Amino acid sequence: MFTFKVDGADSIDKDFEEFNRDVAIASNYGLRTVASELTPALQRHIRKDVYEAYSPRRYQRRYDHPEYGRSLFDIGNMNWSLAKNGGRESVEFTYEPNGQNKHYPNARFYPDGDTIIDVLQEDRGYLWRNMEGIGKERRFWDNFVDEVVKESDGWFVSGFNGYSRDLRAVKDGKVIREESDYRLDPTYEVKNA
């Protein structure tokens, strides 16, 4: 008869529990780092892809005149939170711009939320003073999503390793994308991902 005994199984279980706790905490740090990068990334694309792409001649922008209302660029339009779905934690980012401009109180149409994003992206559906667009798509949301997909694993690894260098996470470029990441165009594909 062959018998054996393993001493120290309790310490293996304890080490495993500590490792899992450290991974969970480091993952939270990583997600918070990703979340902290989202607002500045979207603001860069609004500035570059919207405001620098076109200078209006017929109206005054809220970006230049905050007294007229909250601009597209305003941090008050952007919010992030950490969400748990089952055992999985994720970052949820919302962007809800408002098209109202107090300088033009009698305007008949103020595009809000997804509508204003679509108007800028597609250069159609903009009905302010019978102006049907500027003749140029301003794909700020798609460009923002491209940047997030490209950079988010690096942001995550930076935050993860910021908690514990002992865990040694590495960037591998394999970002999991969900269908809702591209809600503006379900056929949209990320370039060079």
DSSP, res 192: T
Would the pLDDT of 20 be above 70?
A: yes
Q: What angle do CA 29, 32, 19 make, to 5 degrees?
A: 20
Greater pLDDT, 79 or 116: 79
Q: How confident is the model at residue 109 (pLDDT cuts 50, 70, 90)?
A: low
CB 128 within 8 A of CB 106: no
Domain residue limits, the chain: 11-182
Question: Considering the entire predicted model, what is its pTM?
Answer: 0.73
pLDDT in tens, 35-61: 999 999 999 999 898 888 777 666 667
Quick one: how far is CA 193 from the chain centroid?
16
134: nearest Cα among 65, 55, 68: 55
Angle between helices 113-122 and 140-163 (to 10 degrees): 120
Q: Count other C-beta atoms under 10 Å from residue 182's C-beta.
A: 17
Residue 108 and residue 106: Cα distance in Å, rounded? Answer: 6
pLDDT in tens, 56-98: 666 667 767 777 777 788 888 899 999 888 878 889 998 888 7
* 8-12, 25-29, 116-120, range with greatest mean pLDDT: 25-29
pLDDT in tens, 122-157: 776 665 555 555 567 788 898 999 999 889 888 998
Sign of torsion over alpha carbons 139, 39, 147, 187:
negative
134, two tokens: 């500027």
Residue 160 and residue 33: Cα distance in Å, rounded? Answer: 8
Greater pLDDT, 185 or 66: 66
